[in-house]
A and B are shown apart, each in its own frame.
Chain A
Amino acid sequence: MKVMAAVKRVVDYNVKVRVRADGSGVDLANVKMAMNPFCEIAVEEAVRLKEQGIASEVVVVSVGSPGAQEQLRTALALGADRAILVETDDALGSLAVAKLLKAVVDKEQPQLVILGKQAIDSDNNQTGQMLAALSGYAQGTFASYVEIREDKVTVAREIDGGAQTVSLKLPAIVTTDLRLNEPRYASLPNIMKAKKKPLEVLTPGALGICTDSTNKTVNVEAPAARSPGIKVKSVAELVEKLKNEAKVI
């Protein structure tokens, strides 16, 4: 069966972002970009399914700027067979991305689509669920374990009180949680080979998808700064401060 993994190009998770003074957004000029960490886990899971002989082909797809080709090449170096970029310079909302992914899913007909549970830039946690709704497929969100048997996928999910297991009819959508797997690193020979793998570029217009959003970001500001704290010298002093100054215990 065919497995698809979706990846997003985001600011590297170690970068402390700066908010632009005019409130128009965060400053991403000359900032290190990388594959969203949850998407790395999605690609890894897809590649493992191929290594187990369950997936016959792994297709990676991204929606974003031409720069996202870099992240698609990374996914190809990790073991994906081919890549599709839906190229747009607009900052799209989750619903628009889900609609574009749905168009690609209709075209490619994968049995399983794996996405990250959320992107670390927008922190939305929506796209996988929306793609599932638009395709009418079942969803296994926040997955920490995935097993495919015949026409079903069993997904262990991380929920607030512990873990939940659901069984979904294929085709289905899975979104990854951090503990699903440990993503591998791309080796140099594989990075070289990835340059020769096919990468198809599509546009929202060619797919016939309207990418308008019902949401508009009107301002982006820095969070309120905490007032600087103090260092105490002993546990006794700490307890005294907590009791008498902060009055929290």
Chain B
Amino acid sequence: MTILVIAEHDNKALAAATLNTVAAAAKIGGDIHVLVAGQGAGAVAEAAAKIAGVSKVLNADNAAYAHQLPENVAPLVAELGKGYSHILAAATSNGKNILPRVAAALDVDQISEIISVESADTFKRPIYAGNAIATVQSNAAVKVITVRSTGFDPVAAEGGSAAVEAVAAAHDAGISSFVGEELAKSDRPELTAAKIVVSGGRGMQNGDNFKHLYALADKLGAAVGASRAAVDAGFVPNDMQVGQTGKIVAPQLYIAVGISGAIQHLAGMKDSKVIVAINKDEEAPIFQVADYGLVADLFEAIPELEQLV
């Protein structure tokens, strides 16, 4: 069995989610190869070669792969993937964009967002916004799978010494082009990788009030998240959204501030180790999943909390 892991990267650095995906591959067992598809991503390929447990890195360097457009990258992965038993990618917006296109090209069904490996062909994944866990078995010749990062502890980024091999295959479908991107800038830890996450909801009342959460987060070294209500109301940008349709997080500590706790929000954070809820409505559903609940006005509680930690 040989497993192909698609590296998550921005042509400059390897994203941490790749380490969780390699961890899932290691649980399946067998040789692990990593594909870096991009342009001028030599540093990424070198970083991938150092990941513990990786035996080979395939570096597909081509202008057509620069922005990892699925129309160009998916045929590459499908072509390379035919010789593998499994193709794995992180369930990031990139992985979700590309991998189903690969699966269809290989005429197999994909298994999305696995949270555990039961055996080489059987996996667990959440359905219905995390309210049920399905065990899915695949009889596909090539098993195409996306991996939920929070389900697997990352493997060590150092310690491996895989060979890097250049891949010449060029696929340019010529039907799509990259126009531009606008990335939110933040000095805080990345939401999906942070040990502590502080999230605000509609109860924050406006975007300006998020400064209280930023102050608390900076003191804790935490990332700041938000509920859909806070994003829809324009308080914060949408890449901060935690939930079924946003990011899935599982930090050591999740502090939900002014968040009622709708099913769709819980889907994104209920695997956190410790959940704290601060809400003035003691009937709010968030208290049903919170380890520690504080019924209080957040505008008094948050500054006090910031003082005390």
Contacts and interface: CB of A to CB of B under 8 A. Distances in A.
Interface of A: 11, 13-14, 16-17, 19, 26, 93-95, 98, 117-118, 120-134, 136-139, 141-142, 144, 154, 157-169, 172, 177-179, 213-223, 226-227, 229-236, 238-239, 241-242, 246, 248-249
B294 A163 contact: no
B209 interface: no
Contacts of A123: 112-113, 126-129, 244
B233 to A, nearest CB: 12
A235 B137 contact: no
B176 to A, nearest CB: 4
Nearest to A152: B177
A215 B253 contact: no
Contact of B132 (A14, A19, A163): A19
A2 B110 CA distance: 30
Contact of B253 (A157, A161, A248): A248
A131 B105 CA distance: 10
Interface in B165-214: 173-184, 192, 196
A246 B71 contact: no
Interface residues of B, number: 89
Given A230-B293, A232-B293, A133 B112 contact: no
B304 A161 contact: no
B22 interface: no
Contact of B100 (A16, A125, A179): A125
A120 B264 CA distance: 9
Nearest to A126: B100
B287 interface: yes
Given A13-B264, A242-B292, A159 B112 contact: no
Interface stretch (B32-40, B47-55, B88-96, B156-164): B88-96
A133 B105 contact: yes
Given A123-B129, A162-B183, A164-B182, 14 more contacts: A13-B264, A16-B263, A129-B101, A130-B100, A130-B103, A141-B97, A157-B93, A161-B181, A178-B232, A235-B294, A235-B305, A239-B305, A239-B308, A249-B309
Contacts of A163: 181-182
B283 interface: no
B242 interface: no
Given A16-B131, A138-B71, A223-B133, A235 B263 contact: no
Contact of B112 (A126, A157, A233): A126
Nearest to B252: A248
Contact of B135 (A128, A169, A217, A229): A217
A121 B134 CA distance: 12
Contact of A94 (B67, B97, B100, B263): B100
B9 interface: no
A220 B135 contact: yes
Contacts of B13: none
A161 B96 contact: no
B91 to A, nearest CB: 8
A210 B146 CA distance: 25
Contact of A220 (B101, B133, B237, B304): B133
Contacts of A246: 253, 273-274, 291-292
A138 B181 contact: no
A134 B96 CA distance: 17
Contact of A162 (B96, B237, B282): B237
B132 A162 contact: no
Interface string B59-80: 0000000010111001000000
Q: Considering residues B245, B274, B290, which has the most beta carbons from chain A within 10 angstroms of its beta carbon?
A: B245
17 contacts: A13-B264, A19-B131, A26-B131, A120-B129, A123-B129, A131-B104, A136-B173, A138-B176, A166-B176, A167-B176, A172-B175, A178-B228, A214-B108, A220-B127, A222-B131, A229-B292, A231-B295
For the complex of A and B, 6 pairs with smallest distance between CB atoms: A129-B100, A133-B104, A214-B140, A130-B104, A126-B100, A165-B179
Contacts of B275: 226, 229
Given A122-B127, A231-B295, A238-B276, A161 B183 contact: yes
Interface in B211-262: 220, 228, 231-232, 237-239, 244-245, 247, 252-253
Given A168-B175, A235-B301, A95 B108 contact: yes
B109 interface: yes
Given A215-B138, A239-B308, A167 B179 contact: yes
Contacts of B109: 93-95, 213-215
B263 A13 contact: yes
Contact of B308 (A161, A162, A221, A236): A236
